[in-house]
Chain A
Amino acid sequence: MLNYDIVVIGGGPAGMAAAIKAKECGVDSILILERAETLGGILEQCIHTGFGLHYFGEELSGPEYAARFIKIVNEKNIEYKVDTMALQITGDNKVYAVNKTDGLIEIQAKAIILAMGCRERPRGALNTPGTRASGVMTAGTAQKYVNIDGYMPGKKIVILGSGDIGLIMARRMTLEGAKVQCVCELMPYSSGLTRNIVQCLNDFDIPLYLSCTVIDIKGKDRVEGVVIADVGPDRKPIPGTERLIECDTLMLSCGLIPENELTREVGIELDNVTSGAVVDENRQTSQKGVFACGNVLHVHDLVDYVTLESQTAGEGAANYVLGNVREPDYITTKGVNGVRYIVPQKIDLKNEGDVKLYFRVGNTYKNASIVVKYNGAEIIRRKRPRLAPGEMENVVIKNDVLKTFSHDGTIEIGVEE
């Protein structure tokens, strides 16, 4: 049995930032467990730029962004094990993991930071009818084949879903000489970042069909085409709008799902909307000493925000290990009127600092206001020229405002048009 103060599950941007922060806060005994062969997580296959604009004030590629953190992990002598899969966490903060060299590893931790990231929604979960032909894959899988393995997963491509990875792959495949026929999005708006629609689709004349979906997949061995159709307000295909688009590959970019198997199995409370843990402002979950950050907590739009959130979790875990904790006095947060969720879901009133609330809206809005209410009374109102589901929003609750609240209260954030 190994003993560590903090075990971080996941060595992507979230896990690394949390571990570094915890180390800076004075915890020495830290172990990162990473299932891939290297630290860096999914950033390693994101060779496009656009990372770090907020955090570093520079435009970096994914591997460059990751490299900065890998460097610090090494400089600070933070221990890590790669090619290592965490199998289970227990109610008393033990971690079971496995790899080829150590075999089965049992670790007693004082605190655990969950940073396992997320996975893509597969075809099965979308219930897309059609044949079982080869050539249907998620955009992230395709990205790995192209950027890491160096093979073309297709030559004529239809992309279903306008998530960011799908948009990025539309450009990537085009640059590699493939023909991207179109991107179909079920919703009347894209779930991707505006900048990606401009830079990855518009700049390459790739059509984006909104309110449109794939209703059939053709081809016996390899995909030969897909049938797409427009959908009505009920998201059901409109008869008569079906058309066959020839392609050898259907890439799916239809949403990301936090990978919370370990979290669910140990019985940590999960948020039905985010599919991540319910956390407080330090990102502590319902199990004492277990923290969560990054895409395993809620799917982020920018890695910069993952880094910031993970630093919060790292600091929280360090304080927990160092004994700087108190009995919390929680109030809850709640998204209303178009706000789908808020993270954190609860705030300790005894908190000494300001609290930043992250949230996403469920629709597009122009010239709307974000209104924050405490027990029904408005406390903050912010004008926003544009709100979209693809972009994460945040508001800060100042500590002096927080101090005026009493326990059992609720903070609500909503949109007013």
Chain B
Amino acid sequence: MIYNVAIIGGGVVGALIAREMSRYNIKTALIEKCNDVAMGTSKANSAIVHAGFDAKPGTLKAKLNVRGTQLMPQVCKELNVPFKQTGSLVVAFSKEEVGTLDELKARGETNGVPGLEIYDREKLREEEKYISDEAVAALWAPSAGIVCPYELTIAATENAVTNGVEFFRNFCVSKIEKNDGIFTLSDGDKEIKTQVVINAAGLYCEEIAKLIGDSSIETIARKGEYMLCDKAIGHLAKHTIFQCPSKMGKGVLVTPTVDGNLLIGPSAVDVPDKDDTTTTAQGLDGILKTAQKSVPCLNTRNVITSFAGIRSHCTRDDFIIEKSKADESFINVAGIESPGLSSAPAIAEYVRDIIFTLISCEKKDGFNPVRPDPVRFRHMSNEERKAVIAENPAYGRIICRCETITEGEIIDAIKAPAGARDVDGVKRRTRAGMGRCQGGFCGSKVVELLAKELSLEINEITKFGGESRILYERTK
């Protein structure tokens, strides 16, 4: 079997490219080194769809952000991924920063961002009741929104697989050879052959490019720590609240999430280890203090968990989406840091157009753009609940108490195309274990269900693949 296109990297960018290519009469493979999609940058970020006023006019970032944000509502609708167009505010705390707002507004207008407006102190307070007294003005961007990044990745992958894309997990590409115009990707054990390679390996784009002798990509791993707060204080921010940007990024934000929690972060620290998703006391302290500048009543009492994500910052300071100088059938999609999530649907189109210059693709019949909406018991009315339980009694058994997630939903997540294989995979697909008790009660039940559905022993089940198993041998 020779694929026409092989995409390395099951993040939001790889998954949306895979879905885009599944519209065409070609054979596409999506290759992921971990046990699941959305295991890198797509798993832990700010979950923001940016309006697009940050990037310098003329850059790919500027162009793809505005287009991606424009596409996002429709993509989310088709994939049944929660998306809310909440709008964003950049808050100024001094006269100097008010000047920055004016610059951002002008830049946004050049980039084609709709509806930008400067709010004065009163209007800002009207919109955000809990904003600091020190805040003097804000830039309002109505097109900004919030989306769940891993759910978007999972849904796009599911939809791509439904439309014929083949998904390979636990396939870590370690060698690439080319013979007679065909690439052979190897993980040291298995091989995948393809005409075109898309390097969407996120933090590891540099390493993947080097496998074909392309040393043009230099990435820096930039860590951001976050705190997730209980839904009880979800009302403290109506919109995404930014502070004025610095050269390390867009600073610490306070934002509602699509699930009604409140998210605070990120910090921005360059780290040598690309997998260093450790959280630190300093980092968490720092983001809380900075966030309190925007919303002073925030405190640690309502924090339900903290986490860190790594974004891949490129020395070129723009997205790198182009044919490799080393081989034109090898397309680098690198340096996808913020606004990468917002841009992802537009990146998929952009990459598709590059692929069109390499191979001929025809639209195929029967492409279904819709990923069916999974049962979300917690959001249902009692009448809807009765109906789904009548259809499948497993929806009548609550596994996760905090988030009201049923056995049926967990089984669906495991059985779905490119479904969950580990506890974290179930968590990202269903929210089981994401509530206040963080899996204290349901963790062991999720392990049992995974073992049953996958026909494994419960001590073979992992938290997130690899050596992350949860249980050792039987007791004596």
Contacts and interface: CB of A to CB of B under 8 A. Distances in A.
B partners with A = yes
Interface in A108-161: 119-120, 122-125, 127, 129-135, 137-138, 140-141, 144-146, 149-155
A125 B440 contact: no
Given A85-B401, A104-B396, A134-B464, A176 B280 contact: no
A177 B390 CA distance: 47
Nearest to B390: A103
B476 A134 contact: no
Given A99-B397, A138-B440, A141-B440, A221 B284 contact: no
B306 A152 contact: no
B463 A151 contact: no
A130 B284 CA distance: 11
Contacts of A123: 305, 438
Nearest to A131: B278
Contacts of B279: 129-130
A268 B304 CA distance: 23
A219 to B, nearest CB: 9
Contacts of A133: 463, 468
A124 B229 CA distance: 10
A130 B439 contact: no
Q: Classify chain A's interface size.
A: 35 or more
Contacts of A106: 382
Contacts of A138: 440
B277 interface: yes
Interface string B253-277: 0000000000000000000000101
Nearest to A105: B396
A386 interface: no
B1 interface: no
Interface in A69-128: 83, 85, 87, 96, 98-104, 106, 119-120, 122-125, 127
Nearest to B392: A100
Nearest to B422: A134
Given A103-B393, A221-B467, A152 B472 contact: yes
A127 B303 contact: yes
Nearest to A140: B440
B468 A152 contact: no
B397 A100 contact: yes
B398 interface: yes
Given A35-B401, A103-B389, A129-B280, A124 B473 contact: no
A177 B476 contact: yes
Given A177-B476, A221-B466, A125 B304 contact: yes
Interface in B418-459: 436-441, 443-444, 448, 458-459
A215 interface: yes
A137 B470 CA distance: 10
Nearest to B441: A119
B359 interface: no
Most B-side CB within 10 Å, residue of A106, A134, A155, A261: A134
B415 to A, nearest CB: 18
A316 to B, nearest CB: 26
Interface in B341-382: 382
Contacts of B407: 100
Contacts of B440: 119-120, 122, 137-138, 140-141
B84 interface: no
A285 B286 CA distance: 41
A155 B475 CA distance: 11
B25 interface: no
Contact of B463 (A87, A129, A134, A237): A134
A220 interface: yes
B443 A137 contact: yes
B305 A85 contact: no
A133 B390 CA distance: 39
Interface string A257-296: 1010100000000000000000000000000000000000
A373 interface: no
Nearest to B424: A132
Contact of A125 (B303, B463, B472, B474): B303
B278 A153 contact: no
Interface string B60-92: 000000000000000000000000000000000
Contacts of A141: 439-441, 443-444
B386 interface: yes
Contacts of B472: 151-155
Contact of A150 (B306, B401, B475): B475
A119 B438 CA distance: 10
A381 interface: no
Given A137-B443, A149-B458, A222 B281 contact: no
15 contacts: A98-B389, A100-B397, A103-B390, A104-B382, A125-B304, A127-B300, A129-B306, A132-B307, A132-B464, A137-B440, A149-B458, A149-B471, A216-B278, A221-B462, A222-B467
Interface of B: 227-228, 275, 277-281, 283-284, 300, 303-307, 382, 385-386, 389-390, 393-394, 396-398, 401-402, 404, 407, 436-441, 443-444, 448, 458-459, 462-464, 466-476
Interface of A: 35, 83, 85, 87, 96, 98-104, 106, 119-120, 122-125, 127, 129-135, 137-138, 140-141, 144-146, 149-155, 176-177, 215-217, 220-222, 237, 257, 259, 261
Given A132-B464, A134-B462, A151-B458, 8 more contacts: A100-B396, A131-B278, A133-B468, A145-B444, A151-B459, A152-B472, A153-B471, A217-B278
> Closest 7 A-B residue pairs measured CB to CB?
A124-B305, A122-B438, A134-B463, A221-B467, A85-B398, A134-B468, A103-B389
